[in-house]
Amino acid sequence: MQSRTRRILACALACAAMGSLAAGSGPAAAASAADLDRSAGEALAKLYRSNPTAADIGKHARAVLVFPNIVKAGLVFGGSYGEGVLMSAGKVEDYYNSVTGSWGLQAGAESYGYAVFLMTKEAVDYLHKTHGWEIGVGPTVVLVNEGVAKNLSTSTLKDAAYAFVFEQQGLMASLSIEGTKISRIKR
């Protein structure tokens, strides 16, 4: 009985943390297409200003998936959710959501944004053909951190997609986009 009570309490805490983080951190689920367009554009501009490597890669990308605000919470079981846009030639082409479920040793809540730069026609075609993408399946996505960014330039780009995480807030033990499911949504 005590184990069941702990599981219920853990789920309640994770839900409460996710709810409070979502309430105070902007549009986890944008109210309209215009709101999502604006949030994604602002997030991408901020990423470019703060990360010259992302700005340089953006000039060579065929398209960019931008998720301005992902909310993640977990206590043993966890999940994350956010909505974003696919931009091509500076214009919004379509809308997507990002969903991740996980279990294991984890506790906390956070919000963050991420952008996936699609470098090849094949990566863009894969996204369109499958109406989404499960990161870790399909074209290779390289998660760019500070160490990778130092050695990355437009002359060394060889992978189909590069992901940058930005605006992390909150407390969570780790961050990974592996296993994230990106699906097309109507807006």
Q: For the chain, what is the mean pLDDT?
A: 76
Check: CB of residue 175 under 8 Å from CB of residue 168.
Answer: yes
User: How many domains would you assign to the chain?
Assistant: 1
For 30, half-sphere exposure in the C-beta direction (CA atoms, 13 angstrom radius) is: 23
Residue 137 confidence (pLDDT):
56
DSSP 43: H
* Domain carrying residue 22: 2-185
* Single-letter residue type at 92: V
Total-model pTM: 0.75
Which tokens sit at 19? Answer: 């709810």
Check: CB of residue 96 under 8 Å from CB of residue 65.
Answer: yes
The percent of residues in the chain predicted with pLDDT above 90, rounded, is: 37
Q: Is the pLDDT of residue 141 over 80?
A: no
Cα pseudo-dihedral 62, 158, 53, 61, rounded to 10: 0
Q: Is the pLDDT of residue 118 over 70?
A: yes
Task: Grade residue 138 by pLDDT with cuts at 50, 70 and 90.
Answer: low
